[in-house]
Amino acid sequence: MKRITERDRILTVAERWDAQYSMLASGDTARQISERLHKLNLKKVKASTVNKVIGNDSWTRVMCEECEKDVGQAVVLYGSWPDTAIEICESCLNLAKRVIQGKVQ
C-alpha cells in the first residue's frame, strides 16, 4: 500500500513515457514529446503544462477506481497477482471502513 499524488505522476511522467514508447517503433512525435518532457522541471511544473505537451491528462490524472472521480491523490493497494493494483480515494477508503464495520452495506 502506498500513497500517490498528482506530483508523483508528474515526477515519473518522462520515464513512464519513454518506457511505453521506446518499446514501440518510436515515431517523431513520441520522441519530440519525450524531449519536451525531459526539459521540464518535473518538481515544479503544473499538470496542465504536462497535459499540453502530451495532448491529454491521462498521464497526470489520479483517478479513483471505485468512484471513478479525479481525486488528486489516492492509495494504491496491491493484489497478490503480479502487476495487479487498485487506486482508491480517501472518501472510498472511509466508506470501505464503514462497510467492514457493518455500518453500511
Nearest distance, CB of residue 88 and Zn ion, angstroms: 6
Comparing CB distances to Zn ion, the nearer of 25 and 100 is 100
> For Zn ion, which is the closer residue by CB, 19 or 86?
86
What is the CA angle 69-105-99, rounded to 5? 70
Q: Across the strands, what pairs with 74?
A: 4
C-beta closer to Zn ion: residue 19 or 67: 67
Distance of alpha carbon 37 from alpha carbon 69, whole angstroms: 26
Q: How far is the CB of 100 from Zn ion (least distance, A)?
A: 16
Alpha-carbon dihedral sign for residues 66, 53, 16, 73: negative
SS3 4: strand
Q: Measured from the CB of residue 75, what is the shortest distance to Zn ion in angstroms?
A: 10
Rg, Å, the chain Cα set:
17
In the complex, minimum distance from the CB of residue 33 to Zn ion, in angstroms, rounded to a whole number: 30
Nearer to Zn ion, 8 or 66 (CB): 66
Site of interaction with Zn ion (CB under 5 A): 64, 66-67, 89, 92
